[in-house]
Copies of this chain bind each other. A is one copy, B any other.
Amino acid sequence: MSTVPKTLHSDIDKTIAQLRELLGDRISTVDSVLQQHGRGESWHPTQAPDAVCFAQSNEEVAQIVRLCAESQTPIIAYGTGTSLEGQVQAVNGGICIDLSQMDAVLEVNTEDMDCRVQAGVTRRQLNLYLRDTGLFFPIDPGADTSIGGMAATRASGTNAVRYGTMRENVLALTVVTASGEIIKTGTRARKSAAGYDLTRLFVGSEGTLGIMTEITLRLYGLTEAISAAIVSFPDVRSATDATIQTIQMGIPVARIELVDRDYMKAINSYSKTDYPELDTLFLEFHGTNDGVAEQVKLFEEISREFGASGFQWARQEEDRTRLWRARHDAYYAGLAVIPGSRGYVTDVCVPISKLADCIAETQQDIVATGLFAPIIGHVGDGNFHSTIFIDPDDKAMFEAALEFDKRLVQRALDMGGTCTGEHGIGIGKLKHMRNEHGDGAIATMQSIKQALDPHNIMNPGKVVDC
């Protein structure tokens, strides 16, 4: 795949001048703004765009794209800057379109349990807006990301085991194409057999085929009862086997998260808690009072078979919040173990029957390399993150982490899995694309990219540039 050469300075100045005419003071070339928009939350080095535009409407995004298309200037969409694989890095310079000012909830259809939002709405903002409707948007990748960014990377997180990922929960889109046309994909109907599934083609395309400006989402009814729990296991395999059996029995668990003993130790130290420092499952059950009681009973039976102990249940909201805070603190707890470190997050996902083996082999690898790389997993989906905490000045440690990740991805692919369950490709996982998909599927993806973005201006250098 050919890439757009780094933007020529003479062209970009003209384009920026034109954009300034359009946007007034809603375009910035201030260095701190450029730097901030050239990085996500990962170890990938900042690559700043030439300018940042703050768009406020579909038509404005379309106008920006049309101006950029004239001069074949790269365009990168930006939500909250929480991506983990270098998705927003301006590898060839160009114009960043910051969508955070497109933050309106446009409609909520309570009877249909759906809503339409602008791309810059964040998931917490949406759930706050929905507070009095009895509905909620379940997908929770941890950070308070924008819905546009979540759609772009096909995000998921802790609730996906029950409610699915962005793939299952985006019903329709408004998209600005590479030629600056505004198109609509999908409808609010729950199903359709009317032509190609453009909605799911744009979901997960990371801004390389067009810019999603409005997203229609499925919502869910808040359930009568919610119960959260924390349970210890003698080892990761027992925890994973209990998970597999829970899923196979069709228990509609809403969250089932593995936190390994290394992370539990770090959490206790960081969050001043005193949880058993064992391989642990954090769980949540949603349903009617009777339904949750039944789920809890079945899960307890299963997990006792696998040697579980120390059940702690939390039904009140504040108790549940405290419990989940411990889980969400894990990353910061890990950072505190090696002061000054940063995290290199891996993201494989395998068929659930392979999960115990995949984690066990990965743990052996961790021991062999001597890295500090504790594991958290969305184990109901077969997805887990081993985060390597790295001293940024230690190049050898970084190289070891890269090699470890490479082996981990190969292990997952050999087991029929994928290199990324939920973080996407960006630039960080480009090197795994051919290995995962094969030349034929990559050629098909590249043909689509070429057809929809013939001048390769939409987030060039990402996803299919391999």
> Which residues from chain A sit less than 8 Å from chain B, CB to CB?
109, 111-114, 153-156, 160, 164-165, 167-168, 177, 181-185, 187-198, 200-201, 203-205, 209, 220-221, 223, 244, 247-250, 252, 288, 290-291, 294, 298, 347, 349-353, 381-383, 412, 416-425, 429, 432-433, 436-438, 440-441, 443-445, 447-452, 463-464
A-B pairs, top 5 by smallest CB distance, nearest first, are: A183-B440, A451-B451, A111-B353, A192-B418, A200-B200
Chain B residues contacting A350 (CB-CB under 8 Å) are 189
> Are B189 and A196 within 8 A (Cβ)?
no
Do A421 and B191 contact each other (CB < 8 Å), given the known contacts A196-B445, A440-B177?
A: yes
A326 to chain B, nearest CB (A): 25
Chain B residues contacting A160 (CB-CB under 8 Å) are 191
> Are B184 and A437 within 8 A (Cβ)?
yes
Chain B residues contacting A167 (CB-CB under 8 Å) are 191, 197, 200
A201 to B195 Cα, complex, angstroms = 9
A441 to B220 Cα, complex, angstroms = 28
Chain B residues contacting A155 (CB-CB under 8 Å) are 193
Chain B residues contacting A440 (CB-CB under 8 Å) are 177, 181-184
Set B188, B197, B383, B441: member contacting A191, Cβ < 8 A: B383
A440 to B181 Cα, complex, angstroms = 7
A453 to chain B, nearest CB (A): 10
> Are B418 and A349 within 8 A (Cβ)?
no
Chain B residues contacting A417 (CB-CB under 8 Å) are 187-189
Set B193, B194, B433: member contacting A195, Cβ < 8 A: B433
> Are B187 and A421 within 8 A (Cβ)?
no
A69 to chain B, nearest CB (A): 15
A248 to B113 Cα, complex, angstroms = 7
Number of copies: 2
A158 to chain B, nearest CB (A): 13
A139 to chain B, nearest CB (A): 11
Known: A112-B352, A193-B418, A451-B451. 5 other contacts (CB 8 A): A168-B168, A187-B418, A189-B349, A195-B463, A221-B249
A290 to B293 Cα, complex, angstroms = 11
Set B288, B291, B420, B464: member contacting A192, Cβ < 8 A: B420
CB-nearest residue of chain B to A383: B191
Could you pull out 8 A-B pairs where Cβ atoms are within 8 angstroms?
A: A183-B440, A185-B441, A189-B381, A193-B420, A193-B423, A198-B441, A288-B294, A290-B294
Do A194 and B429 contact each other (CB < 8 Å), given the known contacts A114-B351, A183-B440, A351-B189?
A: yes
A221 to B167 Cα, complex, angstroms = 23
> Are B111 and A193 within 8 A (Cβ)?
no
A363 to chain B, nearest CB (A): 20
Chain B residues contacting A247 (CB-CB under 8 Å) are 113
> Are A195 and B445 within 8 A (Cβ)?
yes
A209 to B464 Cα, complex, angstroms = 20
> Are A425 and B351 within 8 A (Cβ)?
no
> Are A191 and B156 within 8 A (Cβ)?
yes
A424 to B192 Cα, complex, angstroms = 8
Chain B residues contacting A196 (CB-CB under 8 Å) are 201, 204-205, 209, 445, 448-449, 463-464
Chain B residues contacting A189 (CB-CB under 8 Å) are 349-351, 381-383, 412, 416-418, 421
Chain B residues contacting A464 (CB-CB under 8 Å) are 195-196
> Are B191 and A165 within 8 A (Cβ)?
yes
A381 to B112 Cα, complex, angstroms = 10
Chain B residues contacting A463 (CB-CB under 8 Å) are 195-196
A349 to chain B, nearest CB (A): 4
> Are A441 and B187 within 8 A (Cβ)?
no
A223 to B182 Cα, complex, angstroms = 46
